[in-house]
A and B are shown apart, each in its own frame.
Chain A
Amino acid sequence: MITAATIKIKDDEFVELKDIIYKNAAISFADSKKYLLENRLSKRLQELNFTSFKDYIYYLKYDAKKREEMEVLLNQVTINETYFLRERAQMDHMIKTTIPALITAGKRNIRIWSAACSSGEEPYSLAMLLNEAGLFAKAGIEILATDINTEVLDFAQKGLYRTISFRGVPPTIQDKYFRKDGFSFQLDSAIMSKVKFFQGNLFNPMLSAKVGRLDIIFCRNVLIYFDIPAKQKVIDLFHKSLNTPGALYLGHSETLNKISDSFKMENFGGGIIYRK
């Protein structure tokens, strides 16, 4: 960032790169986010000996290894900020209300999907809370976790976290499930074994077959990067993948207002749940 000189992106280059990213991951960049691409990609351009974004765009379009480069690009442009027990009210709602209701209705196996899990804090938080509530003993619970970014998934599978991931986590939970290792914290292997990670682009038509049918979906703080048609596509996918009854939790600043009315919206005080 500060050590490598940034390469400036021209207007036409910006729209084209933005379009490439949009077509591959539906992430949209407002014009005010130009600097983000400059900051995050300049170093990569230099490694490839390029002096302009046009060179890089041609590389993405014409090189034999363009598919691998697309992965590198998407890893650079996604925003992966997350932490344990983020927007916890929804997680508590799942533990106290949604899952007990499913169990009472006779469900033996419950499948949960964390659909943009970043470095794993969200699905692991769910696993810890399920464990705290003793729910793993009451039903077969499977947690799937996917993200488009392969780097964060590698990170998640190591289960090794820095302090930044623990904003607002009660020390009792941190002490119980993590072992301090230098300046990092290693997550308990029993919790790690509860979550199955794999790469998944929410716009890949194969994804639905890969995840199968689900009872609960968490998809938080990712729809904000998509425009309306893209949001609609993702919500359709969720609706199709959910059993009835099924529950969808979105980030607390995200709503389906004007996007889809296929779900029933319910405000439970600490947040919103969308029911199928």
Chain B
Amino acid sequence: MSVSFIRYGDVLKIMVDQDTPGKDLEEASRKLLDEKGVACVSLDLKNCYYIQSKALAALIAFKKNAAKIRAEFVVSNVCDNVYQVFEMANLTSYFTIREDFSSYPAEELMEKFFQADYADRVSDFIAEHYSDEYRQQLQGLMEMNEPELKYYAILTMGKAHDYASEDRIKQELDSDLPMVVKASVLVLGWFGDTSSKDKIYSILEGGLEELAEAAAASIALLSDDSDAQRLGKLLSDKSAVIRTAAVQALTLINDDNSFNLLKSALDSEQDENVKASLIRALSSFNRPGVSDILITGLDNSSIKVREASASGLAKIKAKDKLADILRRVTDNDAWVGYFAVKACGDICAASDAKKLMDSYDKVDENVKLAIVEALGKIPSDFSDFYMKILNDNNEDIRKEVLAALFNDNKDAARDAALTLFTDDSSWIVRYKALEIVSIIRPEGYKTLLQQRLTAEDNKYVKEKIQSILEEI
């Protein structure tokens, strides 16, 4: 049988073999009409490495017949070759294309760990549908000398809470393969295996970057009151990698002790990268004094530290420092200006907005963009200002203006979006306009979309129109 129907509750899976003749497919699509109580039809092409363009008509018939029995229709496991055929026939957005790992035997799934672009999702899938069969397969991988496979085997067991494998995973802390050690460190952290903590410290102290980061995360998970002090000592280690890892661990622990340790490390730290990471760390603490530290950071000689400080201020929404922040909007470093403006968007009142608008003509392009975005967040209507720059030469500015208008004045946004959607020369602006039109849904918008579907020549905008039309 080259086409087979398999029922799982209200899901109907249709498996298609390679080289299925077109007429068999057509017959199967007619058979679909006899099915009752199906909510979703999944046509699975896992076994089709290529497809004749003649078969496409049958696939379209499937979709139509699925609609007749009121079932959703998806095409699953489309390989690159078949996808290319869909592409040539302009069908990639006509069909909902999905991945369905449940069609693969356990052994074939394991092989996908070799493919970087699948591995993570396969691992998630197996963990979610954990069974003895998967478990056995994973244990098999543990005995092979393939770092990638072992890495994913361990992570998957971890995600599946397979505590019975804990001892086996522990052994791998001594592996010579860094990837494998990394996976074990992470999983033992998730498992709360405090007995491995000392070992994990020694891995962190080994100073290998990818391992140090994982070790930091796990130490934080396994930490008790004594760990802040222990990590604090590492903040003055001579290796920048180790210092950075200690910063990460303390950030995750996030208690008073950690805060004080990080704060005092900031004074002695010389390396600008580590210093920037200390600034980022401190801005994740909700403590008095943080905003002062960040304001001081704005005067640091290192660009990295200044930018981290400005971005920190945006993150903590330092209301008490508004005046200082506003002053930085016109900073020489455009990214400091950018983050300063972002901070304003979250903390300014309408009365402060004028300062932002006055700076507009004095700043770089990226800061201008941030200003428009920030104005859109401040609860007041700045349409007059937007209208002046709605015809700016820069496409991103026009796009941001539209978005800000949408926040402040829906009527003006609707009119602007309708015009820009048809007339703007940049697809980026048309795309944003389309998003807004599809939310506001002005009268006659469906006809407009249909017209634009033929007139539009950008493929992203076209696809978006198509998917909106399909929804309605």
Binding site for B on A (CB under 8 A): 1-3, 11-12, 15-16, 18-19, 30, 32-33, 35-36, 39, 46, 48-51, 55, 58-59, 61-63, 79-81, 162-164, 167, 182-183, 224, 227-228, 253, 255, 258
Contact = CB atoms under 8 A, between A and B. Distances in A.
Contacts of A253: 49, 79-81
B418 interface: no
Contacts of A227: 87
Given A164-B148, A183-B176, A227-B87, A79 B117 contact: yes
Contacts of A12: 428, 431-432, 435
A36 B435 contact: no
A62 B333 CA distance: 13
Contacts of B229: none
Given A19-B460, A58-B396, A62-B334, 13 more contacts: A3-B186, A3-B216, A12-B435, A18-B460, A35-B120, A35-B121, A49-B339, A50-B311, A164-B146, A164-B148, A183-B177, A253-B79, A253-B80
A224 B50 CA distance: 14
A150 B464 CA distance: 34
A19 B177 CA distance: 37
A112 B308 CA distance: 48
The 10 closest A-B CB pairs, nearest first, are A49-B311, A62-B366, A15-B460, A3-B217, A224-B80, A183-B176, A58-B366, A62-B365, A49-B307, A49-B308
Count chain B CB atoms within 10 A of each CB in A39, A162, A167, A228 and give the residue with the most. Answer: A162
Contacts of B407: none
A242 to B, nearest CB: 24
A228 B117 contact: no
Contacts of B81: 253, 255
Contact of A258 (B88, B120, B335): B88
B162 interface: no
A58 B369 contact: yes
A253 B83 CA distance: 12
A162 B150 CA distance: 14
A183 B435 CA distance: 53
Contacts of B186: 2-3
B280 interface: yes
A79 B116 contact: yes
A225 B366 CA distance: 31
B99 interface: yes
B163 interface: no
A81 B115 contact: yes
Interface in B132-158: 145-148, 155
Interface size on B, as a range, is 35 or more
Interface in B66-88: 79-81, 83-84, 87-88
B97 A32 contact: yes
Interface in B177-223: 177, 186, 213-214, 216-217
A246 to B, nearest CB: 25
Contacts of A61: 396
A33 B117 contact: yes
Nearest to A46: B280
18 contacts: A3-B248, A11-B435, A11-B464, A16-B428, A30-B83, A32-B99, A46-B280, A49-B280, A49-B308, A49-B311, A49-B335, A51-B311, A51-B314, A63-B335, A81-B115, A164-B146, A253-B79, A255-B81
A66 to B, nearest CB: 11
B76 to A, nearest CB: 11
A163 B147 contact: yes
B114 interface: yes
Contacts of A167: 114
A23 to B, nearest CB: 12
Contacts of B264: none
B456 interface: no
A2 B146 contact: no
B431 A51 contact: no
B399 to A, nearest CB: 8
B387 to A, nearest CB: 22
Contacts of A59: 366
Nearest to A162: B147
Contacts of A258: 88
A12 B98 CA distance: 21
B17 interface: no
B380 interface: no
Contacts of B98: 32
B364 interface: yes
Interface string B76-120: 000111011001100010000111000000000000001111001
A221 B435 CA distance: 36
B362 to A, nearest CB: 16
B315 interface: yes
A31 to B, nearest CB: 8
A223 to B, nearest CB: 9
B398 to A, nearest CB: 14
Contact of B87 (A48, A51, A228): A228
Contact of B147 (A19, A32, A164, A182): A164
A30 B75 CA distance: 15
Contacts of B49: 253
Given A12-B435, A49-B308, A228-B87, A62 B364 contact: yes
Contacts of B116: 79-81
Contacts of A55: 338
A16 B435 CA distance: 14
Given A32-B97, A35-B121, A49-B308, A163 B217 contact: no
Contacts of B366: 58-59, 62-63
| Residue of A51, A164, A224, A228 contacting most chain B CB atoms (<10 Å) | A164
Interface in B304-344: 307-308, 310-311, 314-315, 334-335, 338-339
